[in-house]
A and B are shown apart, each in its own frame.
Chain A
Amino acid sequence: MNNPLLRRVMLAVAAPLLAGLFAVVVSAIVLEVSGSPALDTFRTIGENGLKLETMIDTLNRATPLFLAAVAAAIGFRMNLFNIGVEGQYILAAFLAAVVGSKVDLPGVLHVAVIIATAMLVGALWSGLAGLLLVSRGVNEVISTIMLNFIATGGIVAGLLPRFIDDPTAANQGTPTLAESGWLPDLNGVVEIFTREIGKGRELTGVLVIALMVGVIYHVIINRSLLGFDIRASGMNPLAARVGGVPPKRMIMVAMIGGGLVAGLVGMPEILSDTHAYDQGFIQGLGFAGIGVALLGRNTSAGMAAAALLFGFLDSSSAVLQVRASASSEIVVIMQATFLLAAVVAYEVVNRVKQRDEVARAVRATTEMASNEAAVSA
């Protein structure tokens, strides 16, 4: 591996591949030890994955995961640990569902109002953590964790009873949105290329929004002055400050930007699935999104791949439950092992890269020195 470019590409791919292999081996061992045939289980997951309906499930699951990952990644890019995506998206989805059920607007506008409400609420809630950090130096990890609990256990739990549609229902929630507030599904687009999608599956229209968010995130981070400032603040805060990047403003920008995206995380559920906020509203996407962001190294493409993988594993757990040859919880173990192995692998690869860098610098200096020696001789 003397070709430096080849070596760099290999190193970039090596980490996730090794981590994936490690996760498969660990889960195989766990499966075998607990008395389920590992190969059978993997075959079931694989066969099921080839079905069109599973692919739709995967995309539906990957969409909010990707959005949550982008929301977290904006902060991560400048070493700001926004753990608060969880609270931001739940509060945003709840208030958006409330507002959406109160207004009466024609199609596009209705959806736009719901989305705007969600993004605004997400931005306000994360902006609060940003404000505490820049004005009082309150560590953002702690403040976002506390704000998560205040949002879910306090505000949503306290306000939900006031907006409940049917107090006798088993799963109490806000009134179902009028159809003008539903986002059309993408089944028609998919079916141009494939057979008809069965089993009542609907591909969420929020996927389009997620793709747009991914592209915008990529362009802003990599191709704009703002993105440069964000990355610079993350890599070397002191140098960025000396270079004229205002640290407090950058913190607010990153927190509010993350909150805007976090507001979208609950939208598949509100706009495409249940069309209401109820007690069974999906939780935990914020934390899973942090995992996806870490796995995807905060890049659009990486996070998309990681979201698809996590989404696929999540949608596999259903079939494992049915077949009962193995416990469906093996899926969570695979995800978490993969995540932990991947962050370790990235760190190791980083170190190898740094060593390469040092070696190259040393080589260059010695070459220069010997050249000079040759010239003066």
Chain B
Amino acid sequence: MIELWNRFNALPAWARWPVLASLGILLLAVVQGVSGTQLLTDEGTANAMVRWSIPILLAGLGGLFSERAGVVNIGLEGMMVLGTWFGAWGALNWGPWGGLLAGLVGGALGGLLHAIATVTFRVDHIVSGVAINILAPGLARYLSERIFTGEVGGSVSQSPRVDGFDKFTIPVISDILQSIRDLNWFWISDIAGVLRGFVANLSLFTLLGLLLVPVSSFILWKTRFGLRLRICGENPWAGESLGVAIYRHKYMGVIISGALSGLAGAFIVLELSGLYRGGQTTGRGFIGLAALIFGNWRASGVLIGSLLFSYPFGLSLVDFDAETSGEATRALLLVMAIGLAAVALWALRSDRKVDLLVAGGMAAVALVWYLGTQTAASWLPNTMPYVLVLVVLVFASQKLRMPKADGQPFTKGAH
């Protein structure tokens, strides 16, 4: 058992994730068998998870660029709000591509503001972020009042309906996956079902979002610009002594961060809701931030985090539409109980008593809850991501490493 674990750890990261993911699906398949629902590994659930993960993913990647450049950005949420308004406005005037670009620019403007405050004026990063989160919804409301009110379906709190991108399904791969799915083999068909959620019913925007993961990774770790950006977050004083233009790279990082958050906002408008509505970001910028931390400040980690955090919501979307409303969501409690029990076992093995007690206690609560209800309420899946973040931070925060100079003020020529 231990030898297997060591072998697994020796695998490169790109090989470890698929193994972990398929083990996760195995867990879902088992729970599915126990609780008699079919939705946990359903293609529709996976598809909803992918679609709803994109805003979190884009915001998380935004946070990645900013924090790798040493600027903490809790203004992601506000920049996302700007993205929703400008996205809707652009889409109304120039169609989906216009919306995408306008959202990107709107978010980037928010990023520019954050950069001016934090880099040039060295305002505390949290303070500036909070201010932007207050400013953005107000600005969006004001602009809506001026521009959307009076148009058909428009008001101070929402825009007229806008068109998104066309949906398509990647042909051959989806057909193969479908035929594996139809075999109805335990685990194998479940994996095929989840994978099919990634290739069917896609839009260009979804694909773009997923594509930005390897692109961000490449930019940050394989280019000269990325190296310079990262030294701003690790040790700007050393970077400065080597002639790196720290201020300029910090500006770039934060503006890119805003642009990606703006894209996240535009995605919500174009792909998820079909219009701008006040308050429609519902804290996804903050979940993006959580995905960033969960993902240990890496692009691939952000992707895993955002998929994981949007899974409960994606499931609930499908679940509460179905006739057996709430049953699949209830099964999530069992998944949680098993996951926490695994953490407890792991703590037992490494002799950490407090962890064992906390994780074991939480597992017991989840199990009792599962056994005590027949259907879960809709607030449960909405709250699960936040609980998950806290659980991860409680049990794994020692394993996470943020950029060393993240959040610290930097003054040019002070050293």
Chain A residues close to B by CB (< 8 Å): 30, 34-35, 81, 83, 132, 135-139, 141-143, 145-147, 149-150, 153-154, 157-158, 287-288, 290-291, 294, 327, 329-330, 332-333, 335-337, 339-340, 343-344, 347-348
Q: How far is the CB of B89 from chain A (nearest CB, A)?
A: 14
Contact of B286 with A by CB under 8 A:
yes
Task: Write out the residue numbers on chain B whose beta carbons fall within 8 Å of the beta carbon of A132.
Answer: 390, 393-394
Q: How far is the CB of A251 from chain B (nearest CB, A)?
A: 15
Decide: A30 and B142 in contact? CB cutoff 8 A.
yes
Decide: B383 and A149 in contact? CB cutoff 8 A.
yes
Task: Write out the residue numbers on chain B whose beta carbons fall within 8 Å of the beta carbon of A288.
Answer: 134
Task: Write out the residue numbers on chain B whose beta carbons fall within 8 Å of the beta carbon of A290.
Answer: 130
**17 CB-based A-B contacts, threshold 8 Å:** A30-B142, A35-B146, A81-B126, A139-B293, A141-B126, A150-B383, A154-B379, A158-B379, A327-B142, A327-B146, A329-B142, A329-B145, A333-B142, A340-B128, A343-B123, A343-B127, A343-B128
Which of A142, A332, A343 is B393 in contact with, Cβ under 8 Å?
A142
Which of B123, B135, B377 is A158 in contact with, Cβ under 8 Å?
B377
Decide: B134 and A291 in contact? CB cutoff 8 A.
yes
B interface bracket (residues with beta carbon within 8 Å of A): 35 or more
Contact of B289 with A by CB under 8 A:
yes
Complex Cα spacing A81 to B133, Å: 15
Q: How far is the CB of A215 from chain B (nearest CB, A)?
A: 26
Q: Which residue of B lies closest to A291 (CB)?
A: B134
Complex Cα spacing A147 to B354, Å: 21
Contact of B382 with A by CB under 8 A:
yes
Please report whether the interface of chain B is mostly helix, strand, loop or mixed according to DSSP: helix
Decide: A287 and B130 in contact? CB cutoff 8 A.
yes
Complex Cα spacing A211 to B61, Å: 45
Sorted from nearest, which 7 A-B pairs have the closest CB atoms? A332-B138, A336-B135, A154-B383, A329-B142, A327-B145, A157-B379, A146-B386
Contact of B397 with A by CB under 8 A:
yes
Within 8 A of A (CB), among B130-158: 130-135, 137-139, 141-142, 145-146, 156
Task: Write out the residue numbers on chain B whose beta carbons fall within 8 Å of the beta carbon of A153.
Answer: 379, 382-383, 386
Task: Write out the residue numbers on chain A whose beta carbons fall within 8 Å of the beta carbon of B135.
Answer: 332-333, 336-337, 339-340
Q: How far is the CB of B353 from chain A (nearest CB, A)?
A: 13
Decide: A149 and B283 in contact? CB cutoff 8 A.
yes
Complex Cα spacing A136 to B139, Å: 38
Task: Write out the residue numbers on chain A whose beta carbons fall within 8 Å of the beta carbon of B393.
Answer: 132, 136, 138-139, 142-143
Task: Write out the residue numbers on chain B whose beta carbons fall within 8 Å of the beta carbon of A135.
Answer: 354
Contact of B347 with A by CB under 8 A:
no
Which of B142, B156, B286 is A145 in contact with, Cβ under 8 Å?
B286
Which of A83, A150, A330 is B130 in contact with, Cβ under 8 Å?
A83
Decide: B142 and A138 in contact? CB cutoff 8 A.
no
